[in-house]
Amino acid sequence: MIGYEEFERISNEVKQAVVESFDYLKNKTNSYILYLANGEYKMELKHSHLRLNPYIIDSREERYKDKDRRAFYVEFLKTFYTFINRQATDDNTNRIHMELMVYSHIWESKPYLKQLWRLAILIDMKSYPWELTIPDMSKHETIRNDIRNTFQRRGLSVSVVISSGFHTSLRNAFAHSEYYFNESTKHIMLDTYTGKSWDIPNISYDEWSQKFAYSILLCYYFQNEIFIRRESLISEFKTNTFLIMHPLNCNTTRANYVTYDQRHDTFNFTRNIE
């Protein structure tokens, strides 16, 4: 279980960590607009008979793929984490089963992990990664080594949030349905335990509640911060037109303007700089 005060503490910690990382992106790099514009490489355009530029902006395909899952996460929080009269959550195993599913979906989501990884790459002062592929296997290495450790090198507290929420043993056991509940000890037992130093054989209900809170709140606040930052672009910069560096191919890049349409929440190319 988890109490109201503990959940609020985690919620504030996660929100501050997310805001800190986006502020770092805005103040320390020149890729802030391009990140919010969601630049993407689409190989199918390169091989199209129309010979279109595969480096596009405002790619919505992956956002749509995850839209229903994100909506479910929000409704789940509203349903089970409203803390009526500030009462702690109980140890209802039906709810915990759903939490395990949500946890697995969060840490397996390629669109979500790609957004985190792309942010980490830019914060590491590297060029914008238009083409980025989340591996089908060993996602835990991407999460730990490529994402979390990069934030950690830059001293950003998102790394602590990821460590507090993600554990390979949990993801493996939940994804493959190799777990069961021990009601007498209030533990989730993991049948994937191998005895290795990093592996864990079980986790208490209370510890699980913390892991789940960190994970779902990071996903929620991260997606929400992207929306907030896009919506506030025009008021913050006093313009709806922004300059980005846009690749024509793998060897050539040129300066290009993009325009943000706040009403429809879309980015579009406008004109080139001659």
User: Which residues does the chain have with pLDDT short of 50?
Assistant: 273-274
CA distance 173 to 161: 21
Q: Is 116 exposed, middle or buried (0-12, 13-18, 19+ CB in 10 A)?
A: buried
pTM over 0.85: yes
What does the pLDDT read at residue 246? 93
- Could you tell me if 257 and 273 are in contact, meaning their C-beta atoms sit under 8 angstroms apart? yes
Please write the tens of the pLDDT for every residue from 140-152. Answer: 999 999 999 999 9
Of the candidates 191, 189, 187, the one whose C-alpha atom is nearest the C-alpha of residue 204 is 187
What does the pLDDT read at residue 271? 60
Q: Is 218 exposed, middle or buried (0-12, 13-18, 19+ CB in 10 A)?
A: buried
Tokens of 136: 């089908």
What does the pLDDT read at residue 274? 45
Please write the tens of the pLDDT for every residue from 42-87. Answer: 887 766 666 778 899 998 887 788 889 889 999 999 999 999 889 8
What would the 3-class secondary structure string for the chain be? CCCHHHHHHHHHHHHHHHHHHHHHHHHHCCCHHHHHCCCEECHHHHCCCCCCCCEECCCCHHHHHHHHHHHHHHHHHHHHCCCHHHCCCCCCHHHHHHHHHHHHHHHHCHHHHHHHHHHHHHHCCCCCCCCCCCCCCCHHHHHHHHHHHHHHHCCCCHHHHHHHHCCHHHHHHHHCCCEEEECCCCEEEECCCCCCCCCCCEEEHHHHHHHHHHHHHHHHHHHHHHHHHHHCHHHHHCCCEEEEEEECCCCCEEEEEEEEECCCCEEEEEEECC
Total number of domains constituting the chain: 1
What does the pLDDT read at residue 250? 80
Structural domain that includes position 77: 4-272
